[in-house]
Amino acid sequence: MHKRSATVVTLAPLVVLAAVAPAAHADTTVGDARITSVTFGKATTGVGATLGASVGVTLTATDDSGIDSVIGPKIVGPDGLVIRPTRKACTVQSATTVQCVYSFPLSPDGTDAQDLRNSSAGAWHFEAKAVAADGDSHHVSPGVPLSVKRHATLVAAQATPEPVGKGDKLTVTGWLRRADWDTNVWDDYAGKSVALQFRKSGTDTFTTVKKVTTDSLGELRTTVTANSSGTWRWRFTGNTVATGATSQGDRVVVS
CA-closest candidate to residue 196, choices 238, 143, 247: 247
Domains of the chain: 24-149 (2.60.40.1930), 152-252 (2.60.40.730)
Residues 154-181: tens digit of each pLDDT: 999 999 999 999 999 999 999 999 999 9
What is the dihedral sign for C-alpha 78, 80, 86, 90?
A: positive
Partner residues linked to 208 by β-bridges: 197
**What is the number of residues in the chain?**
255
What is the dihedral sign for C-alpha 207, 210, 215, 220?
A: negative
Residues 55-113: tens digit of each pLDDT: 999 999 999 999 999 999 999 999 999 999 999 999 999 999 999 999 999 999 888 88
- Cβ atoms of 132 and 190 within 8 Å: the answer is no
Residue 1, CA distances (Å) to 52, 96, 179, 185, 217 in order: 22, 56, 12, 9, 8
Rounded average pLDDT over 208-217: 98
CA-closest candidate to residue 241, choices 4, 45, 32: 45
Residues 109-141: tens digit of each pLDDT: 888 888 999 999 999 999 999 999 999 999 998
- Cβ atoms of 199 and 231 within 8 Å: the answer is yes
